[in-house]
Structure 1
């Protein structure tokens, strides 16, 4: 016999549906919520009263619609009810952002990498500086995007080639320093993939691959709407994968050094790969697309994602012209129909992804609780 939702669960579902609408569309009246949710007037009235009492939403004004009688009250989310932090660990610095429940950044900080400082201390100091900038004293969740491999069992850093002093004490050390605040550590390319899925070019695509092109190379894999990490957290670590071209790897083919050398061959400024790509000639883009397509063909042959997003500093700088060329080569050289697009998440995609996931975890904690859980 199929199970039906308990009255408590049904209320949580309705509350979340209304709250999500207010998050996404801004303040609404009870009548507007009723129209958008399809719930009864009484049900909407109850959920509004319930969420006002819980401090989740509040009255924020009145409708300006011209009508007889008093204007309808508008309700919006209480933005400062809770705060989360998104952090990006780079080879040269640690960046932290503090955001309210709407995702709006209210504080930020960046600290230089220092191999003499314990990783958990460095991340904590960056978060503390961002909290001070935001004039906030408490966090309700933290998500950290880091280079390297994150162990899916322990949830901690397993290996960072670019940061040899970073070790598997980041997660427990931060939990101790933050006093029980929920903390998640995730690979930075995976967070970019989740950001593009929630906010950017991959919205509406529940299966896709994101190819990050920068100094290093990485892939985020989303299958049926879920991030695929692999057994040991190494899914998408394709930098060392062989290309079959003279014994070289994908990193040798399209990493930052390779792009700079290719730019040099085409007479472009080669001190900085991103600058070179921004000044690219059609011939340079054709040659770069040939290389990127080789990496993308390997991804498509194994995963058949149907949709590939080019991200990373080089991928975003090359933009739509490179994406179109790579798509053309995939259509020509593989039997699998694959669309290629460039990432569209603005700002720092790793931090944006960290904040998005931190807020999703916060909302689940708020709306997924059964009595006694």
Structure 2
């Protein structure tokens, strides 16, 4: 049964205890001497902080470690009462959810494939997300403390009304559909931004001060990290590459979101069908995955279609490079992270701008969900302090 308890309590912690709690969450188990050295806290201050955290049931000893002097010291980690968070991803092809402790251990997960690809959040997708969330909450119920935060990664659009922020693309039912207990914050975040956060924290852009994450799949988007922080923009819409004017020529006026329509998977498959010979080349690939598999297997027509699409992706990357000079570009998404795309994108970027490091993401299709989890953990720690 789902645990309906545990409204997440809040604590009025002193600064030293907050620092210790965050260090154990971010860096993992440690002894008092190790924490004192990292946080520059005196032994008396560390003793007071640890006593307060132990009294509240937020930390617990888990064995001992022998130091250079031969003395053993208790190794501390977060206790179960510190609680857990939920990350939820609503994608074009499926939904998934995962529960993590505040120190980064996965304690439950579930996913469900959607019956049809959708570039927006449909009511059916919101209901499917609610279903996988229920499964995860049933899995962790009663064992890992209170649920402190829920972050949903989904396609979003800028809200240009007073106050800014983001609004779900397609439906406003997400937070209501999840049915969280009162007092548990639920936030909808842009899916591409979540993937960028994950690559910055855990992936190929780990600790990079500046980079751009470019997602190409059913939709397109850009997440920009500047000075180690995600760039949001005045309307929360920084990186909305779909809104770049396209086409931009003397003969054709731009269409709203025309670039996304051109680079998205649906348009790719339409161009694939148009280029496919009527006879002698086999059946037209049913989706982008099948197209790339055919290209990797040496199918000449499939490879030409893929190479041209990769050149088009490279032109988007070149525009991003020319605009923000990120130093590193990370490609993600169902199409963008394919190795067949990478070489042609690099060639196009060198041809149109200047040589910039371009690589594929290191987290695969888990990037968005891991980013949502990381954002949830960060917010939970902030709220506890």
Specify if TM > 0.5. Answer: yes
Q: 1:130 to 1:155 in 2, by over 3 A?
A: farther
Q: Does 1:363 align with 2:378?
A: no
Contact 1:324–1:340 (CA<8 Å) still a contact in 2?
no
**Candidates 192, 196, 201, aligned match of 1:198:** 201
- Deviation, 1:200, is 1.3
- Inter-partner Cα distance in structure 2 for 1:351 and 1:342: 17
- Where 1:204 maps in the other structure, the secondary structure is coil
- Inter-partner Cα distance in structure 1 for 2:309 and 2:114: 32
- Deviation, 1:65, is 5.5
- Inter-partner Cα distance in structure 1 for 2:330 and 2:345: 11
Structure 1 stretch displaced more, 341-350 or 222-231: 222-231
- Deviation, 1:191, is 0.9
Provide the residue aligned with 2:56 in structure 1: 54
- Inter-partner Cα distance in structure 2 for 1:237 and 1:128: 32
- Inter-partner Cα distance in structure 1 for 2:329 and 2:113: 33
- Deviation, 1:314, is 1.5
- Inter-partner Cα distance in structure 2 for 1:265 and 1:116: 32
Using structure 2 for the length normalisation, give the TM-score: 0.76
Using structure 1 for the length normalisation, give the TM-score: 0.78
- Inter-partner Cα distance in structure 1 for 2:147 and 2:57: 17
Which segments of 5 or more consecutive residues in structure 2 lack a partner in the other structure?
A: 1-11, 116-120
Q: Does 1:143 align with 2:151?
A: yes
- Inter-partner Cα distance in structure 2 for 1:64 and 1:333: 57
Q: 1:72-83 residue pairs with structure 2 within 5 A?
A: 72-79=73-80, 81-83=82-84
For 1:225-268, what per-residue CA distance to the aligned partner results, in whole angstroms no more than 9, with x for missing partners?
33334444443333354144785843355322454445966979
Q: 1:104 to 1:322 in 2, by over 3 A?
A: same
Q: 1:113 to 1:155 in 2, by over 3 A?
A: farther
Q: 1:78-97 residue pairs with structure 2 within 5 A?
A: 78-79=79-80, 81-97=82-98
**Candidates 126, 136, 147, aligned match of 1:130:** 136
- Deviation, 1:361, is 0.1
Provide the residue aligned with 1:98 in structure 2: 99
Provide the residue aligned with 2:213 in structure 1: 210
Contact 2:199–2:363 (CA<8 Å) still a contact in 1?
yes
**Candidates 164, 168, 181, aligned match of 1:178:** 181
CA RMSD of aligned residues (A): 3.6
Q: Does 1:343 align with 2:361?
A: yes
Provide the residue aligned with 1:157 in structure 2: 167
Which segments of 5 or more consecutive residues in structure 1 lack a partner in the other structure?
A: 1-8, 161-165, 368-373
Contact 2:216–2:336 (CA<8 Å) still a contact in 1?
yes
- Inter-partner Cα distance in structure 1 for 2:122 and 2:308: 42
Provide the residue aligned with 2:224 in structure 1: 221
Q: 1:244 to 1:265 in 2, by over 3 A?
A: farther
- Inter-partner Cα distance in structure 1 for 2:347 and 2:93: 36
For 1:186-217, what per-residue CA distance to the aligned partner results, in whole angstroms no more than 9, with x for missing partners?
11111111111222122222332211011221
Query: How many pairs are equivalent?
Result: 347
- Where 1:313 maps in the other structure, the secondary structure is coil
- Where 2:147 maps in the other structure, the secondary structure is coil
Q: 1:322 to 1:15 in 2, by over 3 A?
A: farther
- Deviation, 1:143, is 0.3
- Where 2:183 maps in the other structure, the secondary structure is coil
**Candidates 316, 319, 333, aligned match of 2:352:** 333
Q: 1:67 to 1:346 in 2, by over 3 A?
A: farther
Contact 2:155–2:168 (CA<8 Å) still a contact in 1?
no
